[in-house]
Structure 1
Amino acid sequence: MKFYVASSFKNIDIVRSVSNCLINRGYIHTYDWTQNNKATTLKHLRIIGQHEKQAVLESDFVIVILPAGKGSHIELGLALGQGIPIYLYSPNNDIDDFETTSTFYHLDGIVKCRGTIDSLIEQIDKRNRKG
């Protein structure tokens, strides 16, 4: 199974940890944006955007780690529009906080995950393993 992880640069260590855990369990990472340097030109932004869009569309599921930036929310929208399952992770209850939540966090196709990174990985693995 293929996956993509969306989040903000401030969560780069968490994104890498989640990605490595899933890769170690046999999942395929469609694109590792954490290896990118910060874009300095519009051309570079476009190239990164093309890679990220393709990676989302090639994924069997997408993980969005909160707090996330505008790019991550666009990736969430791409996945929703294509019917790709989304694991929306927050270490706390921000997902359901009426003041900070998004209408899109509550749609079908979104699996809300809270707690530890280990519990996120276990939930993903349990839902995606056959047998």
Structure 2
Amino acid sequence: MSQNKKTKFYIAGSFRYAELINNLSVMLEHSSFLRTYNWTLNKRSDSIETLHKIANEELQGVERADFLVFIFPSGKGSNIEFGIATALKKRIYILDVNNEIENFDLTSTFYFLDNVKSFKGSLEDFAKFIVGCETK
């Protein structure tokens, strides 16, 4: 993909991986990609109004992204973002943090769609993998 216009990405994952997610974002941004929304900056929701606001910001982040990065395993919100990206026919890259994506008790059929690429390995190698796929 041409880098004349910045390629945009969204990272879906659990708050427990916030540091990993932000480190990956920095690596991708150094390769001239643009993050559409940083949900790791959000505080714990304390009202339905806050949940509504965050939900819309996250939805817009996924919609504006050219591709989605999914940190596996993750929670229900991340899986919903994965579903939105799937419905929008986005490219999806999964980092399999615990080498569990092929565990039938933990996986989903949707993780094996044609637009999804799974990766096991270091964060640095995952960033290089994404950059390589996106700049072909």
Q: In which range does the TM-score fall when normalised by the shorter chain?
A: over 0.9
Show structure 2 runs of 5+ residues with no match. 1-6
* 1:35 lines up with 2:36 in the alignment: no
Q: TM-score, normalised by structure 1?
A: 0.96
- Structure 2 counterparts to residues 116-131 of structure 1, below 5 A: 116-130=122-136
Structure 2: how far apart are the matches of 1:92 and 1:119? 15
- Amino acid paired to 1:17: N
Structure 2 partner of 1:47 = 53
Q: TM-score, normalised by structure 2?
A: 0.92
Name the SS of the counterpart of 2:74 in structure 1.
coil
Q: What RMSD in Å do the two structures reach over aligned CA positions?
A: 0.9
- Amino acid paired to 1:103: T
Name the SS of the counterpart of 1:94 in structure 2.
coil
Show structure 1 runs of 5+ residues with no match. none
Runs of 4+ in structure 1 off by over 4 angstroms are none
Q: 1:97 aligns with which of 85, 103, 106?
A: 103
Higher helix content, 1 or 2? 1
| Greater displacement, 83-92 / 39-48 | 83-92
Structure 2 partner of 1:108 = 114
* 1:24 lines up with 2:61 in the alignment: no
* Deviations, residues 8-58 of structure 1 (Å, cap 9, x unaligned): 111110110011111111100000001111111011001000000001011
Aligned length: 130
| Greater displacement, 84-93 / 4-13 | 84-93
- Amino acid paired to 1:30: T
* Deviations, residues 63-105 of structure 1 (Å, cap 9, x unaligned): 0001211000000000000100000111342111112111111
Identical pairs, percent: 35
